[in-house]
Structure 1
């Protein structure tokens, strides 16, 4: 199994969080994988067998080119054979800023991007499909995004300033404080977040606070009380509730070191 991550070109770091590739290397074993929210929308290309997805209670077949909006809780994927995937993990406002998409309409959805993007990703799809297993594919994606980012479709500067506050505080800064920091009311900030991020600032902050747990787990043993405080939770019970809300599991039973997609995406 190949789990690979790549950074974008430095000038694209405000647009792209990073690239990833997952490849079963010909292994056709069928396995169900849990995917956990991390706060970043994605463009995903399959170059092997297709996947099935269970976002709610039923399984559905996926297409080979996908757009994933903000996801509020865990869901499941299941391969149907040997597979390979390339993902572009985007910064929260990129789809709104560069392509004029309403992020609220994409919340809790993983869709065929041709249905929502009006041909905006056709050239990118062609670039990736030429040789998806090549290490140069990420450089070609960089080049495409460099061209696409020369013109911004929407002004997201206030949202991005507030997001910076979320990231800097590890998701602990209050919504009122974020709003004051960018010079608008809480209600205005809520509207901007729904449009450009797809979640409320409070809920998005919860996801970022939850994500910090996985960073901390790589650097310390699970002393749960201290971990809860270090990750910005009020106490251990608050930490457990938040963890279970996003993963469906108690933290004491979660396999943080298991090689799977959830840990691959959440570990830095």
Structure 2
């Protein structure tokens, strides 16, 4: 069961999408199952409401992994990460807009980028536990999502009352351009009116990635959207998305997705950014 919806108006400058998911019936176990989670250029906040805590793996040969708890912030990334999906879980979450971290979480994006952070390190254990308890107590999945949303609204209202604001205007004006095309970073700096160093610092503090890294992920995002059409050739996808040629796209796929474009398409994944991972031989031996 999967629910997705836009947030309430109060949250829209800070939250792009709210979602909730739960297994249908008793969750089936798939020992050793993992997936590659591909980058979006943004952050997310997740409450796991059933099953084990989030476990991530450093690479395909990592048999132990590392757990991150039940309330987790996923920072902006410029490449995939690998997570355990051996047990389906009940969860609610939010995809955050650029610049939302300070208002919602109390930390800038660049302090959280490239990793997962337990929410209690940001909100404190008492507030995090209370928030999880409130969401758990709501019962039905849709109601749990509504309670989760209300918690985020409370955080935003408190931050706005304290004088915190959203995305810096100089950064906000560049994001649409970076999403659509491959602009010159020097040109964006010049348009901003800031020095190169100041612009990069503002961008990284608001997004968590440098402008060059963010542009790279946005170009990859365009390629994934085009690749949703299975009849479209990889050459056409590469050139339309802004790559120099198909070989360039293949190199970027390997770096950002951890697999080739053809391997990505062969997985037949329901979500283009949640892709089943191959099981390494060392991982198989560790389970015997």
TM > 0.5: yes
Unaligned runs of 5+ in 2: 276-288
TM-score, scaled to structure 2: 0.80
Counterparts of 1:21-40 in structure 2, within 5 Å, are 21-25=20-24, 26-30=27-31, 31-40=33-42
The match for 1:144 among 131, 138, 151 is 151
8 Å Cα contact 1:103/1:198 also seen in 2: yes
In structure 1, the residue corresponding to 2:187 is in which secondary structure? Answer: helix
Distance 1:252 1:264, change over 3 A: closer
In structure 1, the residue corresponding to 2:150 is in which secondary structure? Answer: helix
Larger radius of gyration: 2
Are 1:199 and 2:206 matched, yes or no? no
Q: For the aligned residues, what is the CA RMSD?
A: 2.6
Unaligned runs of 5+ in 1: none
TM-score, scaled to structure 1: 0.85
Counterparts of 1:34-113 in structure 2, within 5 Å, are 34-50=36-52, 51-55=54-58, 58=62, 59-79=65-85, 81-113=87-119
Cα distance between partner residues in 2 of 1:161 and 1:32: 38
Q: What is the CA-CA distance between 1:264 and the residue it aligns to?
A: 5.4
8 Å Cα contact 2:22/2:90 also seen in 1: yes
Q: What is the CA-CA distance between 1:161 and the residue it aligns to?
A: 2.2
Q: What is the CA-CA distance between 1:159 and the residue it aligns to?
A: 2.0
Q: Which moved more, 1:71-80 or 1:34-43?
A: 71-80
Cα distance between partner residues in 2 of 1:132 and 1:241: 46
Distance 1:52 1:100, change over 3 A: closer
Cα distance between partner residues in 1 of 2:68 and 2:166: 32
Q: What is the CA-CA distance between 1:16 and the residue it aligns to?
A: 0.8
Q: What is the CA-CA distance between 1:182 and the residue it aligns to?
A: 2.7
Instruction: Indicate the residue corresponding to 1:156 in structure 2.
Output: 167
Per-residue CA deviations over 1:219-242 (Å, capped at 9, x if unaligned) read 462311111111121222221111
Q: Which moved more, 1:201-210 or 1:85-94?
A: 85-94
